[in-house]
Chains A and B, each alone.
Chain A
Amino acid sequence: MRSIIEYLKEIVFGVWSLMQGMKVTGSYFFRPSTIVTQKYPDNRKELVMYERFKGEVVMPHNEKNEHKCTGCGICELNCPNGTIEIISKTIVTEDGKKKKAIDKHIYRLGMCTFCALCVKTCPSNALAFSQGFEHAVFNRALLIKTLNKPGSQLMKGVE
């Protein structure tokens, strides 16, 4: 007799516990405001990333097409996986001195692990992170980027 009561109790408890779970999931039908799904490709315009978001490394240029990179190579040294490569050249300044400057600042996005060591250690704050996150391309070669724009120069006053 006791075992039958135990057995019935178990059935009632089982059904009750299942209903409890159903209650939780069912209640969301009547609370549509709690739904958090974003309609991603459609909401591109209002989708704003946070200011510190590490999208990809960029080199900000001002309106005169000048950047702050002196070509010292500290970012290249600090990068743990050889993402950055600096090709430098020697230029002659106005007062006739020879000076080192960057020819190309090559950044391989496909190898980057976004550790932020290059941005953090740059002595002249020449590098920054952009907020773009859509990095997919059809050709692998497109992931190798030159950060300094063609014809750009070193900003005056940056050593």
Chain B
Amino acid sequence: MEEKVKNITTEEQQEYVINMGPQHPSTHGVLRLVVSLKGETVKSVQPHIGYIHRGIEKMCESITYPQVIHLTDRMDYLSAHINNEAVCLAVEKALEVEISDRIKVIRTLMSELTRIQSHQLWWASFGMDLGGLTCFFYGLRDREKILDIFEETCGSRMIVSYNCPGGVMYDLHPDFAKKVKEFIRYFRKILPEYNQLLTGNVIFHERSKGIGNLSLEDAISFGITGPSGRASGFSCDVRKHEPYSAYDRVTFKEILYTQGDTYHRYVARIEEMWESMNIIEQLIDNIPEGPFAVKMKPVIKLPEGEYYQRVETARGELGVYVISDGNKNPYRVKFRSPNFVNLSVLNHIAKGFKIADLVAIGGSLDLVIPDIDR
């Protein structure tokens, strides 16, 4: 014991270790960051995770495939619909089911609406992290409009459980197209207001420009995907490189920046909202006719083998890896969650910045804690 005390250098003695979290408003959940400080400068950040670990992967092994879907809602609750879609696509890939164009378009529309509402909530909370409480109210006010659309068609607002293997649960509500168009018209007017309020603000510039730089090499070697990776110039959009659902029939731009600081991670998400609206506008006017679900067997059994499907959630690449032994339950399910991987870079990019910047950097990575712990 005494020897250990002697080995601590004077520099280490001067370090000051504090706990950020598990209950801290800027971690957006129960994430504990053990931060070593020298004065106000961050020396290292150690994330301690697992506070809301529910064992979703293990639970999946004891339930059937349609039942797995409702659990994936509860991982990344802000992109619940896209998580559902990933599992459904993996199951459909395994069974080699051909799904109709209508289902593909419905899923794409819903995914893009999910992406917009997720980015809206991120914008709201990011503004709040940096001290702008007005952003929080404006972001949530506009998110409400999308949640109303979800509620009308899917029956729930956030945890939608709308997909099922072979299609979707219910057909689109007759008012769906009208309401979505109304929302797009409204949001195209509101989004410049977001920019006026926060993006152009001088305090925001000072706190985000040149903070938490992530180079392209590091982004690739850490595996940072989603808008955070694309802000560093890592072209990683699954929608573009490996199109699923109806993404092969729409044209959209992959938002790429090279600077990779907090400000550009912010701008990448704002630009993604514009692109999502473009995608929705291309599809909303000509939703193909057809059945909204393919008739599946009452008990779905996957043929023996391994299946992998990746999708682009609002935060990055979600991979679903299913091993089946031919039973109605999966033998093993592994989720490659984007948040878990994005969290790993926090120590690398926060080093050397002030502790107040850590809040901005953490906010710009857009972490959802239940997805980290699963």
Listed in ascending order, the chain A residues whose CB lies under 8 Å from chain B are 10, 13-14, 17-18, 20-21, 23-25, 36, 49-50, 52-54, 78, 80, 113-117, 120-121, 129
Let me know if A113 and B70 touch, CB within 8 A: yes
Q: How many A-B residue pairs have CB under 8 A?
A: 71
Given A25-B134, A53-B151, A120-B169, A14 and B202 contact (CB-CB distance below 8 Å):
yes
- Asked whether any CB of chain A lies closer than 8 Å to the CB of B221, the reply is no
- Asked whether any CB of chain A lies closer than 8 Å to the CB of B82, the reply is no
* Smallest CB gap from B74: residue in A: A113
Let me know if B201 and A115 touch, CB within 8 A: no
Which residues of A lie under 8 Å from residue B198 when comparing CB positions? 21
Query: Shortest Cβ distance from B20 into chain A, in angstroms?
Result: 28
Let me know if B161 and A115 touch, CB within 8 A: yes
Pick from B27-35, B61-69, B278-286 the stretch touching chain A: B61-69
Tell me the dominant secondary structure on chain B's binding face: helix
Listed in ascending order, the chain B residues whose CB lies under 8 Å from chain A are 63, 66-67, 69-71, 134, 141, 144, 151-156, 159, 161, 164, 169-170, 173, 193, 196-198, 200-203, 205, 298
Query: Shortest Cβ distance from B209 into chain A, in angstroms?
Result: 13
Selected A-B contacts with CB under 8 Å, 19 pairs: A13-B202, A17-B200, A17-B205, A20-B196, A21-B196, A25-B134, A36-B144, A52-B154, A53-B155, A54-B156, A78-B66, A80-B67, A80-B71, A113-B159, A114-B159, A117-B66, A120-B164, A120-B169, A121-B298
Let me know if A78 and B151 touch, CB within 8 A: no
Given A36-B141, A52-B170, A117-B66, A17 and B202 contact (CB-CB distance below 8 Å):
yes
Query: Shortest Cβ distance from A73 into chain B, in angstroms?
Result: 13
Q: Bound state CA distance, A100 and B161, in angstroms?
A: 33
Let me know if A116 and B169 touch, CB within 8 A: yes
Let me know if A52 and B152 touch, CB within 8 A: yes
Let me know if A20 and B161 touch, CB within 8 A: no
Which residues of A lie under 8 Å from residue B161 when comparing CB positions? 113-116
